[in-house]
Amino acid sequence: MNRKGVAELAGSVGLGAWTAFGVLALVVAGGHGSPLYLDDGLLTWSAGHRPSLAVAVARGLTATGTGIVPYALVVLAGLVAGRTPRERAAAVLLGGVCLGAGQGVRYGVMELVARARPPESGWQTHASGWSFPSGHSTTAALTAGLVILAITVRAPRGGRLLCLAVGCWGALVGLTRVYLGVHWFTDVIGGWLFAVGWLGVCLCAAAWWLPSRLLTGGAPVDEEARGGRDHA
């Protein structure tokens, strides 16, 4: 896919995700943070299905969605995506900026919506701050998206199983937040939508100036020359 195609696809997906996120945020804020459809039901189900082993596994998994782990994975993704030292350094920097700036915007949204968390009596892990969108869900989804992008760049046809595994990790981190009682399910959905929208914006912006081979996994493409051949 050429530079324009990458930008258009990323922009379209990002715009769709941002639109859905904006609607959900307005509904949450308009309801003063009250639980929405499925929120109460899923939280109640989680509270009734918490054997000690499952809780321990969920705590371990949820811990990977914050702290050093996401940034370490983004650095690794940048090293995988680049082929030369300069490309690797650029990919690591861009990935770190995407994740870090996304976190900053998310904090701003959380303060604006100011949704309270579920009752603390049901918590099975530590949590702090407002509830929407879920921070762990957003961080894990952003990280998973960046890692999947790096895998796709380097192995367009051979990395599907690895991409699936990374995507499942990102989703499961979000679901553990509901299972452990510290988020409503719509907080998690909001985190996923925010992450997709932010990734779309970042990739759309980067597509106009990153080297073509970093975007396509192949040799640089001369857009004008290719356009001339297509019209010949």
Q: What is the pLDDT of residues 167-188, one digit of tens each?
A: 999 999 999 999 999 999 999 9
Taking the C-alpha atoms of residue 44 and residue 208, their distance in angstroms, rounded to an integer, is 47
Q: Is residue 97 a contact partner of residue 224, using CB atoms and an 8 Å limit?
A: no
Angle, alpha carbons 152-105-74 (nearest 5°): 30
| CA Rg value for the chain | 19
Higher-confidence residue: 225 or 141? 141
Give the residue among 146, 232, 11 at the shortest CA–CA distance from 138: 146
Q: Is 50 exceeded by the pLDDT of residue 130?
A: yes
How high is the pLDDT of residue 200? 93
**Percent of residues, the chain, with pLDDT higher than 90:** 70
pTM of the model: 0.88
Taking the C-alpha atoms of residue 198 and residue 205, their distance in angstroms, rounded to an integer, is 11
Higher-confidence residue: 143 or 88? 143
Q: Is residue 125 a contact partner of residue 46, using CB atoms and an 8 Å limit?
A: no
